[in-house]
A and B are shown apart, each in its own frame.
Chain A
Amino acid sequence: MWTRESGGLVLTFHLAGINNQNFLMRDDQTGSYWQQITGEAVSGPLRGRRLTLVASDELSFGLWAAEEPGGAVLKSVPKYASDYEKKDWEVNMKKERIVLSFADPARGLEPRTLLLGIQAFGASRAFPYDAVIQEKLVLDRVGTEPVLLVVGPDGESVRVFRDRIPGTDGHPAFYRTLDDKQAHPKDAAWLKQATAGPLLMDEATGSEWNFQGCAISGKALGLCLEPIEAIKDYWFDWRNYNPKTTVYKRRQ
Chain B
Amino acid sequence: MERTSRRAWGHPWFLLPLVLVSFAASIYPIYVIRPFRHQGPRELAAALEIIQIRPPIELACAILALGGLLWYWRVQPMVSRRRLAAAGAFLVCTFAVVTKVNIFELMFHPDTHPQFVSIQQAKVDADDMVMTVKIGGVAHAYPIRTMGYHHIINDVVGHEPIVATY
Contacts and interface: CB of A to CB of B under 8 A. Distances in A.
Contacts of B119: 65, 68-69, 71, 73
Contacts of B51: 31, 33, 43
B124 A61 contact: yes
Contacts of A89: 145, 148
Contacts, number: 210
B7 interface: no
A31 B52 contact: yes
Interface in B63-117: 102, 104-105, 108-111, 114-117
Contacts of B1: none
A86 B145 CA distance: 7
Interface string B23-67: 000000100011111110000110011011000000000000000
Given A2-B162, A43-B48, A89-B148, A72 B34 contact: no
Nearest to B116: A72
Contact of B38 (A20, A64, A68, A156): A20
A14 B152 CA distance: 7
Q: Lowest 6 A-B CB distances belong to which pairs?
A: A62-B126, A17-B33, A43-B48, A71-B139, A72-B116, A73-B122
B39 A5 contact: no
A24 B38 contact: no
A239 to B, nearest CB: 15
B21 interface: no
B163 interface: yes
A185 B142 CA distance: 20
A64 B132 CA distance: 8
A18 interface: yes
Contacts of B118: 72-73
29 contacts: A1-B133, A2-B162, A11-B161, A25-B163, A33-B51, A36-B165, A43-B51, A51-B163, A54-B135, A56-B133, A58-B130, A58-B131, A58-B132, A61-B125, A61-B129, A61-B130, A64-B139, A68-B119, A71-B141, A73-B116, A73-B118, A73-B141, A74-B140, A74-B143, A74-B146, A75-B114, A84-B146, A99-B36, A186-B126
A125 interface: no
Interface residues of A, number: 66
Interface in A75-102: 75-77, 80, 83-87, 89, 97, 99-100
Contacts of A83: 149
Contact of B110 (A15, A33, A72, A84): A15
A25 B165 contact: yes
Contact of A4 (B45, B125, B163): B163
B73 to A, nearest CB: 36
Contacts of A21: 35-36
Contacts of A99: 36-39
Chain B interface, >50% SS class: mixed
Nearest to B140: A72
B162 A1 contact: yes
Nearest to A77: B111
Interface of A: 1-5, 10-21, 23-26, 31, 33, 36, 42-44, 51, 54-62, 64-65, 68-77, 80, 83-87, 89, 97, 99-100, 154, 156-157, 185-186, 188, 191
Contact of A61 (B135, B143, B151, B154): B143
Given A68-B134, A73-B118, 6 more contacts: A4-B154, A12-B154, A54-B135, A58-B129, A74-B142, A89-B148
A79 B7 CA distance: 60
